[in-house]
Amino acid sequence: MAFSNNNTLISRATKIVGDVHFTGELYVAGKVTGNIFAEEGKDAKVVIEDTGIVEGEIRAPVIVVNGKIFGNIHSAKHLELAAKGVVNGVVHYESIEMVKGAQVNGNMIGNKAPDLAVVASATGINSKANVEG
């Protein structure tokens, strides 16, 4: 995954009130009271550092949480919950990596479509359809 050269840091001493829209990589070490949205169709990554706090929704392809989130997370590709990460909300993910110590206080919803061959095998359904023409 190639990210653009756009790197943004919200430092420890910074508080943002309002929505943040970005491309590239966004590092949050301060506080965001509002939603964080990656630009649609672009590779983007949000990293919530151990001092970072987000009160709002996060939507991005790749999300790394090592701070505190009070809101829902929507990761289109990969979500990493690091040792100090705490999420209070619903977590939507395609793939997930969760380290010992991470916490999720809410639901976790996998967005990956099931492999139909595996589902068919597990349920005893023949996955090959007969088509007459």
**φ, ψ for residue 18 (rounded to 5)?**
130, 170
Question: Has this prediction a pTM greater than 0.85?
Answer: no
Handedness of CA 26, 23, 43, 34 (dihedral sign): positive
The letter for the amino acid at 52 is G
Question: Residue ranges per domain, the chain?
Answer: 7-123
Residues 73-101: tens digit of each pLDDT: 999 999 999 999 999 999 999 999 999 99
The whole-angstrom separation of Cα 122 and Cα 23 is 41
Residues 23-56: tens digit of each pLDDT: 999 999 999 999 999 998 888 999 999 999 999 9
